[in-house]
Amino acid sequence: MKNFTSVHDVPQIDALVKKALAYKADPFKDKSLGAGKRIGLLFLNPSMRTRLSTQIAAQNLGMEPIVFNVGQEGWALEFEDEAIMSGSTVEHVKDAAPIMGNYFDILAIRTFPSLKNREDDYSELYIKQFIKYAGIPVVSLESATLHPLQSLTDIITINECLKASPLPAGRKPKIVLTWAPHVKPLPQCVANSFSQWVNAWGQADFVITHPEDYELDEQFTKGATITHDQNAALEDADFVYVKNWSTFKDYGKIYTNDPEWMLTNEKLSVTKNAKVMHCLPVRRNVELSDEILDGPNSIVTQEASNRIWAAQAVLSEILSAH
């Protein structure tokens, strides 16, 4: 694996999941793989889980992680080629990225979308410019449109649950991605990425449910069943993934905050005692109810804890290839 920016960088999802679960069973089994190597973790936006789990993953492989909060502590970066830098940006990525490429062996970057201009955000300029100019492997810690480390974690967690409680022979798990209300317009990254990975994994009946006009980009959802009827979608579900996203077509808007879309135990009663997932952070009693988050169906802590093993498997693949 050279870079890790989407599911397309992964030759075999099942093999990567197996590798991650092997690290969970024995975290230090490759503790010399990254000896003498450094990973730069660049954050243009806030993070808790991604920042901590990726540092732990790197250290488990013997690598030294160095965190740089570019958004708060660094020079404001310019990403447009041929920009006349007479505004607020101070340093061009064309100048900064090759230096980081000499400081580090792997560069990992978190950026968020502006949610103002869909074409700009969906061009993934920031991560593409780092790939173009850094000259070393680049890992997405969440980009403008995707969150692949989160999605790998989600597939790992689903596999883990299915191994612990197998379904009857021949029955595929039903996985439902449901939109949830939120007070702020959020990116589509997690929902896009989850859809992309579940579709590529290909081992589930996948249903997406959201209010009218909240359709995601078809390039990620194609293959899923899409419905505006949340209650019908939830019937017989084995896993329910809860996430808010802002509108894609009329980009970055909130059309509704209908609290009826928040998952409750009553709504969950039509599922097959479904496990409930969320990438976190979550706004309690807006996006997801206390009774679900504090109840037996929630696997959000297990899911977030698995972020270490997803990151470790990805870094291991990159280190092994270089």
**Amino acid present at 214:** Y
Beta bridge pairs of residue 206: 175
Q: How far apart are CA 89 and CA 79, in angstroms?
A: 9
User: What is the 3-state composition of the chain as percent helix, strand, coil, each rounded to the nearest 5?
Assistant: 40, 15, 45
- Radius of gyration of the CA atoms of the chain, in A: 20
Phi, psi of 318 (to 5 degrees): -65, -45
Q: How far apart are CA 52 and CA 240, in angstroms?
A: 26
Indicate whether 302 belongs to the interface with ligand CP (CB under 6 A): no
- Classify 11 as helix, strand or coil: coil
By C-beta, is 52 or 270 nearer to ligand CP? 52
Indicate whether 279 belongs to the interface with ligand CP (CB under 6 A): yes
CB of 62 to ligand CP, least distance (A): 23
Token pair, residue 287, equals 């996006």
CB of 142 to ligand CP, least distance (A): 6
Number of residues that bind ligand CP (CB under 6 A): 9
CB of 220 to ligand CP, least distance (A): 18
CB of 194 to ligand CP, least distance (A): 11
Indicate whether 174 belongs to the interface with ligand CP (CB under 6 A): no
CB of 20 to ligand CP, least distance (A): 16
CB of 193 to ligand CP, least distance (A): 11
Single residue of 3, 6, 50, 140 touching ligand CP by CB under 6 A: 50
Q: Which residues contact 212 (CB under 8 A, 6 or more apart)?
A: 228, 255
Report DSSP state, residue 255.
Answer: -
Name the one residue in this structure whose structure tokens are 């883990």.
160
Indicate whether 243 belongs to the interface with ligand CP (CB under 6 A): no
Q: How far apart are CA 322 and CA 319, in angstroms?
A: 5
CB of 19 to ligand CP, least distance (A): 21
Single residue of 280, 291, 297, 302 touching ligand CP by CB under 6 A: 280
Token pair, residue 47, equals 């993070």
Indicate whether 99 belongs to the interface with ligand CP (CB under 6 A): no
Q: How far apart are CA 2 and CA 5, in angstroms?
A: 10
Binding mask 107-146 for ligand CP (x = CB under 6 A): -----------------------------------x----
Token pair, residue 58, equals 């790197």
Stretch that binds ligand CP, among 23-31, 47-55, 254-262, 285-293 (CB under 6 A): 47-55
By C-beta, is 144 or 226 nearer to ligand CP? 144
Indicate whether 305 belongs to the interface with ligand CP (CB under 6 A): no
* Residue 63 contacts residue 320 (beta carbons within 8 Å): no
Stretch that binds ligand CP, among 101-109, 227-235, 265-273, 275-283 (CB under 6 A): 275-283
Indicate whether 301 belongs to the interface with ligand CP (CB under 6 A): no
* Residue 16 contacts residue 320 (beta carbons within 8 Å): no
Indicate whether 67 belongs to the interface with ligand CP (CB under 6 A): no
Return residues touching ligand CP (CB under 6 A): 47-50, 142, 150, 279-281
